[in-house]
Amino acid sequence: MADKNLSDDILRDKLDKKYMKAALAQARKAIELGEVPIGCVIVYDGKIIGRGYNRRNTDKSVLCHAEITAIKKACKKIGDWRLEDCTLYVTLEPCQMCAGAIVQSRIPRVVMGALSPKAGSGGTVINILDNPEFNHQVEITKGVLEEDCSAILKEFFTELRKRNKAEKEAKKAAMALEDSNE
């Protein structure tokens, strides 16, 4: 029996990594748009039925988080708002809005990569996903491909800071040139 549990754990770990890599591929799509690289996939019966990546700035909507997009697509694919037999994989711990949507859609399991110390609602700041006061609780698996998920975010924000600094310096130089021409 212990061997079967061990082999089940090994298989689950392997599948978690496989699908987290798919979520990372979604996060890379966000980078192409200049968005914060967060990606999500939803798996049902061994198949990805919902994909999403952060598009808040592109779509000018606070609702365009990776998880919300993936949930909408998965619901459409299944033909129901309940995603009771699905697993959601996300590169960054869900915020309070996304955690609420996960609970509402009855997703039984969430696998996350990096934790979010500022907005994490899967246990870091608050735990909406596994709150016994709600009518649905979510099994949480943390830290799957955490280094990869953290690295893509760190690289994005490092580049963003460099780009913002360069833009600020260019603006300052242009203003100085304009002042000297007057």
Active-site position among 67, 93, 139, 146: 67
CA 30, CA 58: separation in Å to the nearest integer?
A: 9
Mention every residue, 6+ apart, whose C-beta is less than 8 A from residue 90. 23, 38, 39, 40, 66, 67, 98, 110, 111, 112, 113
Residue 80, phi then psi, degrees to nearest 5: -155, 155
End-to-end CA distance of the chain: 84
Q: Is 67 a catalytic residue?
A: yes
- Point out the residues that are catalytic: 67
